[in-house]
A = this chain, B = another copy of it.
Amino acid sequence: MKGELKGDRVVMGSDAVEELYNVLYYGRLKDDTLELALVEAAYLLDREKISVDSNGRSLSFRDLFIEASHLQEYFELKYIVYRDLRERGYYVQPGVTDFRVYPRGGKPGVTASHLFVHVVTERKPLPLTQLISNLQAAINVRREMALAIVDEESDITYYGVKFQRMRGGMGPLDVEMKKGVATLMADRVIVWDQGMSLQLHEKGFYGNMLDEKRLQLSLIESAYLMKKYGLAILDTQTNEPLKLETFIQKTRTIDRDFEGKLKVYEDLRERGLVAKTGFKFGSHFRVYLKIENIKKIPHSLYLVDYIENGHVFDLPDLSRSVRLANSVRKEMVFAFEKDGAASDKGGIASDSGGVQYFSLGRIKL
């Protein structure tokens, strides 16, 4: 069967419709011809199912491949992923996020596709807004969403992307906040009263014991306890209680993302979850659904990173975060603050508050 390269399509004659379209589900019908996308044409040419002419000359696979790379940005990446999906036995159609993939046993025109795939190279930074708008596009038509990241050596890693509902089982804290027993040191707070230390630690899993008598709180925990429960924290210089604004101002010089992280921390606590530092995992928080007994700490299910609304993912970094989370059997979750404008425009779905969560995890296709 012979086709003709026209623009960024290969147009086949009506003789191709029966086998390629009706039986093998390649291409789209246009009048009585069949139009193939460049990836489809290259794949079929390599398998010697078709030949492709351009200006009266028959193209080799190499000719078509190079020609296609001029006609379509990142053609070679899309080809690598298209080929991989086809070789795994999936039917694939071009779609708004690069490809629509049909479930095993499913067929274009007969069943619905189940997955939207977006192809990216590890070298190109990926804006959060683009990731979310692709995810939203998939969700709007009730499809799942996957990123196919192609690395330097053309290995493909597939990541499933989904919005994440966060819900935990911790109730509000019931601890009497004594005055004059907590001090701000350089970048942490120490609680000097043994009774209050033990209660904060045991009832709410706040802080870490410095020794048997004294508790250390992180700056985030301290700010939350000040704001929500009126914890009083003394300045070491003046021995006077710090105002919340002054405290936050001081922390901002230590950690410029402090307020964003605090917003996520607050949101997690309000949802009944326990967030602790994720430093050992290189992320902002590790998150527990519930801690009933300080002596039996359960597995933390999530690693959560706060990202800015305008965040741009570096893909090797993203890959490392997700891989690490998965290696310790946790989900890698990203949290950002929705702004009014973005949700008006893009309609970012959410179940409460101003913080949106989504997770990325490696998937096997």
- Chain A residues with CB under 8 Å of chain B are 46, 62, 65-66, 69-70, 73-74, 76-77, 80, 83, 121-123, 151-155, 157, 183, 185-188, 190, 192, 207-208, 210-211, 216, 218-220, 236, 254-255, 276-277, 279-283, 315-317, 319-321, 323-324, 327-328
Residues of B within 8 A of A188 (CB): 76, 152, 154
Contact A280 B155 (CB under 8 A): yes
| Given A62-B192, A323-B324, A151 and B183 contact (CB-CB distance below 8 Å) | no
B282-A321 in contact (CB<8A): yes
Q: Are B62 and A151 in contact (CB under 8 A)?
A: no
Establish whether residues A281 and B236, one from each chain, have CB atoms under 8 Å apart when the complex forms: no
B69–A236 touching, CB < 8 Å? yes
Contact of A324 among B69, B211, B324 (CB under 8 A): B324
The answer to whether A154 and B210 touch (CB under 8 A), given A282-B316, A323-B280, A327-B328, is yes
A41 to nearest B CB, angstroms? 15
Pair B65/A216 contact, Cβ less than 8 Å: no
CB distance from A255 to the nearest CB of B (A): 6
Other A-B pairs, 19, CB within 8 Å; known A121-B187, A282-B320, A327-B327: A46-B211, A66-B185, A66-B236, A73-B186, A74-B186, A83-B211, A151-B279, A152-B188, A152-B218, A153-B207, A153-B216, A153-B276, A153-B279, A154-B210, A281-B320, A281-B323, A283-B320, A323-B324, A324-B327
- Asked if B208 and A154 sit within 8 Å, CB to CB, the answer is yes
Measured CA separation A220–B157 after assembly (Å): 20
CB distance from A105 to the nearest CB of B (A): 26
A187, A255, A276 interface centre (most CB from chain B within 10 Å): A187
| Of the residues B121, B216, B315, contact of A154 by C-beta under 8 Å | B216
CA distance A34 to B74 in the complex (A): 72
Residues of B within 8 A of A157 (CB): 279-280
Is A153 touching B323 in the complex (CB atoms < 8 A)? Answer: no
**Distance in Å from the Cβ of A242 to the closest Cβ of chain B?**
14
For residue A212, which residue of chain B has the nearest CB?
A: B46
Identify A152's interface contact among B76, B220, B319, CB under 8 A. B220
Q: Which residues of B contact A121 (CB under 8 A)?
A: 186-187
